[in-house]
Amino acid sequence: MDWEMIEQRLLSLLERGKHSELRGALMMLNEVDVARFMETLDKEKLLLTFRILPKDISADVFAYMSAEQKQTLIESIGDNEIRSLIEDMFLDDTVDFLEELPANVVKRVLQNTSESKRNLINQFLRYPDNSAGSLMTIEYMELKRGLNVQEAMSVIRKTGLDKETIYTLYVIDQARHLIGSIALRSLIMADDSVLIDTLMNTNIISVKTLDDQEKVAETVREYDLMTIPVVDNENRLVGIITADDVMDVIEEENTEDFEKMAALTPAEDEYLKMTPFQLAKNRLPWLLLLATVAIFTGMIITNYEDVLNKTAMGIVLTACIPMLMDTGGNCGAQASTLMIRGIALGEIEFKDIGRVLWKEVRVGLIVGAVLFMFTFARVYFINKASIPVCFIVSIALFCTVLMAKSLGCILPLTAKRLGFDPALMASPLITTIVDMTSLIVYFSIATSVLGV
């Protein structure tokens, strides 16, 4: 049964007022799919469906709904309902949700939250965006050192139900310092009387609350972790981050890189949810900056007016400018993309710059030589140009390729070194810089060969 059919059946049950049957049908679905179904409903139906949902999944379903639907729902339900919803939700989901709401709605939600939870929420809201602290949840399973396996299992059975995961357990000392981690698997395989201190792994991979989410994602991916503990500056355990949240971080970071590399200010929301004005606002700054830089390109051309207007083959030289610029841009994009990606994945560092540059120079020589021959033949046979003109265009292209490849590796690595985001040094900027330098090379060669 495909999704459309499922959706139709649910909708038909809802419309015909078959509440018990709808409840039964919804219980058969994954929370993600229930939220997906509720996405399409109007306010009244949304509220009705939410109230029909089995109590034990409603908080989970709520966490998967879109910001708009969450807000609609919060504005429709009573204070008691808000209170029990917030109590049932994991803290990280609550914080995410509050961050998306307008201030007046946040206020109403916080008024209906127990004091202890409210204090926690406020503390979480203070962590900077994209920090480990803002990603973590406090519903982790901790064990005090000195317990034996039987005691530990009984703690888990008693308190494990409300934890986000119980598969990695964290051992803390009296002062709440994180001193070890245990996989639930080893507890289950061990004898009841064994002390957990002897089972725990003391070589803990952790992150700090203020660490950037990029670092969190890199660490989790490198060490193949399911969960990573978050500690404060005194190595006290304050939270955990789970692999599912890390996957979202990875995609978010990649989207940001894609956007920056295409001369876009990273967006806050999904494309379809943004207005044309918001979209234009994210695009104009770079376009204006690059158009300003292009003024110099224009000046270079004006400067060499004589070569273009007063030689017999001037028009051929003009006709080859787009090809020269596009190829330069493409070569620069190829090199810079490989650098930016290599830096993001931790495969290339600034200290490799010598090796990388030497490699790019050799690649540039190969690529440049092939394009030299291609272009020479093209200008000779198609544009019917003289040998000197063929030579000017081809050798300028060869130099452009070499420059584009070199800049394409130097700029992102240098940006990284200076603490800037390497993704900003992507093709649009490199294209513009290569444009200018290649035109200067082009016209200098033309001037000296043609003796203008």
Given candidates 215, 236, 258, 448, which one binds its own copies under the rule CB under 8 A? Answer: 258
Count each helix (H run) and each strand (E run) in the chain, helices first.
Answer: 22, 6
When asked if residue 373 is in the footprint of its own copies (CB under 8 A), the reply is no
- Return the residues of window 409-438 that contact its own copies according to CB under 8 A: 427-428, 431-432, 435
Task: With residue 180 as reference, give the H or E element that holds it.
Answer: strand 178-183
Distance CA 213, CA 227 (A): 14
Distance CA 94, CA 86 (A): 7
When asked if residue 382 is in the footprint of its own copies (CB under 8 A), the reply is yes
Distance CA 164, CA 350 (A): 39
Given candidates 362, 387, 417, 420, which one binds its own copies under the rule CB under 8 A? Answer: 362
Given candidates 150, 334, 444, 447, which one binds its own copies under the rule CB under 8 A? Answer: 334
When asked if residue 449 is in the footprint of its own copies (CB under 8 A), the reply is no
Q: Which of residues 131 and 168 has its CB atom nearest to its own copies in the complex?
A: 168
If DSSP codes are grouped into helix, strand and coil, which group holds residue 433? helix
When asked if residue 12 is in the footprint of its own copies (CB under 8 A), the reply is no
> Cβ-count burial of 322 within 10 angstroms (0-12 exposed, 13-18 middle, 19+ buried)?
exposed
Distance CA 260, CA 275 (A): 20
Backbone φ, ψ for residue 169 (5° rounding): -110, 140
Given candidates 25, 110, 264, 353, which one binds its own copies under the rule CB under 8 A? Answer: 264
Given candidates 137, 337, 394, 400, which one binds its own copies under the rule CB under 8 A? Answer: 337
Cβ-based neighbour number of residue 120 at 10 Å: 16
Provide DSSP, 284-333. Answer: HHHHHHHHHHHHHHHHHHHHTHHHHHSSTTHHHHHHHHHHHHHHHHHHHH
When asked if residue 452 is in the footprint of its own copies (CB under 8 A), the reply is no
Name 313's Cβ contacts closer than 8 Å, sequence gap at least 6.
385, 386, 389, 450
When asked if residue 44 is in the footprint of its own copies (CB under 8 A), the reply is no
Q: Which of residues 255 and 448 has its CB atom nearest to its own copies in the complex?
A: 255
- Return the residues of window 272-291 that contact its own copies according to CB under 8 A: 272, 276-277, 279-280, 283-284, 286-288, 290-291
When asked if residue 53 is in the footprint of its own copies (CB under 8 A), the reply is no
When asked if residue 153 is in the footprint of its own copies (CB under 8 A), the reply is yes
When asked if residue 321 is in the footprint of its own copies (CB under 8 A), the reply is yes
When asked if residue 215 is in the footprint of its own copies (CB under 8 A), the reply is no
**CA distances to 215, 244, 417 from 226, in Å:** 15, 8, 31
Contacting range for its own copies; rule: CB under 8 A; set: 68-76, 143-151, 206-214, 345-353: 345-353
Q: Which of residues 125 and 370 has its CB atom nearest to its own copies in the complex?
A: 370
When asked if residue 305 is in the footprint of its own copies (CB under 8 A), the reply is yes
When asked if residue 308 is in the footprint of its own copies (CB under 8 A), the reply is yes
Say how many Å lie between the first and final Cα of the chain, rounded: 75
CB of 258 to its own copies, least distance (A): 5
